[in-house]
Structure 1
């Protein structure tokens, strides 16, 4: 309680013992410190600790754990490069085993700052209208300083998240299966990673692609579907 002295009856103004008891009690029950701690550690997303972030994650419905597919390679033929759901290129005889029907995965717990950013992205995704400009803002915020990702409307009820840099396994898991990035209802979202340092392209693309004789044509194996 603030300014509790003003609530004392005049007849007790000169009673040091009574005023000391009241002051001690007031200090013991003063909620100001607890309110400040609650605001800093839980309510304020910019300063909240791990416990606070876990609460915010439940509110916006985004998990701190992401599942990363392994980079297991298997025997395959050139024709398999035509599929858009293949994350790994097929290997020739003597280089990799046959596919056994299962794929190992691992679960990663995001660091505090990474999870904080993911929560903010999911909060924005929950209220977005899923237009291309707003989806681009989400991508630029999530991958600030890593490149210039953007969303392309590829027609046929399909959009594509395009990255002019390689995503690390955690970033790929966030984009592919975390549910943080939205998409319009009934629209298939794809992920396209372009290694511009090794990919042929023209200057009009604006992606710093390589000229004739210095880069290979982009393969559709670099496109995967987001879940």
Structure 2
């Protein structure tokens, strides 16, 4: 209660022992601090931490632990960003080499917000580009392009990490039926003034 004195009968209002007991009990049972902590750490996804983010992850249907491909197979970086060149990569043997990675709160919050946007989006290219900006907007240009062969190509202007590829592969982006995603890394070219152009 905000003003405890309004709830005490007038005949007991001058008793220091009784008003002291009621005041101390009110301070101990005051839910305002607990409600404020709950609103900050659980209810608001922009400020939630730890367990609160895990709750939001269950609500939107995305887990904190991602499976990351650690194989580094022989191939071309345009086809799969973690591919290696001759002398560096290994031939694919059919066995999966994955490692589990637990996302920190900041990355998991971005993944939750992207998944929430995907849950309410129409699946258009503009919506998918918006979700990519939520995920990777602070790292460089990243956008989706329609290739007219039942695939959508995600173009990275920065070198995506295996974690980035796992986030995309986790199903966070809406995908129309019969369409799959491909990834390509196009390094930005520099003009004569040293600025990146794409």
TM-score range, shorter chain: 0.7 to 0.9
Q: Could you say which structure has the larger radius of gyration?
A: 1
The count of aligned residue pairs is: 192
Q: 1:158 deviation in Å?
A: 2.6
Confirm whether residue 194 of structure 1 aligns to residue 186 of structure 2: yes
Residue of structure 2 in register with 1:178 after alignment: 170
* Counterpart mapping for 1:19-38 below 5 A: 19-38=19-38
Q: Is the 8 A contact 1:72 1:103 kept in 2?
A: no
Q: Is the 8 A contact 1:62 1:119 kept in 2?
A: yes
SS of alignment partner, residue 184 of structure 2: strand
Mapped to 1, the partners of 2:120 and 2:64 lie a distance apart of 20
SS of alignment partner, residue 155 of structure 1: coil
Q: 1:189 deviation in Å?
A: 2.2
Q: Is the 8 A contact 2:151 2:182 kept in 1?
A: yes
TM superposition score normalised by structure 2: 0.84
SS of alignment partner, residue 2 of structure 1: coil
Residue of structure 1 in register with 2:193 after alignment: none
Deviation digits for residues 43-95 of structure 1, max 9, x if unmatched?
Answer: 12222121111111111111111111123435xxxxx87xx679635747xx7
Residue of structure 2 in register with 1:155 after alignment: 148
SS of alignment partner, residue 73 of structure 1: coil
Deviation digits for residues 167-193 of structure 1, max 9, x if unmatched?
Answer: 011111111x21112222332222222
* Counterpart mapping for 1:1-227 below 5 A: 1-73=1-73, 88=83, 91=86, 99-175=92-168, 177-196=169-188, 208=197
Q: Is the 8 A contact 2:157 2:188 kept in 1?
A: yes
Say if 1:60 and 1:32 are closer, same or farther in 2 by CA, change over 3 A.
Answer: same
SS of alignment partner, residue 174 of structure 1: helix
Residue of structure 2 in register with 1:225 after alignment: none
TM superposition score normalised by structure 1: 0.74
Q: 1:6 deviation in Å?
A: 0.8
SS of alignment partner, residue 191 of structure 1: strand
SS of alignment partner, residue 160 of structure 1: strand
Residue of structure 1 in register with 2:192 after alignment: none
Mapped to 2, the partners of 1:96 and 1:6 lie a distance apart of 76
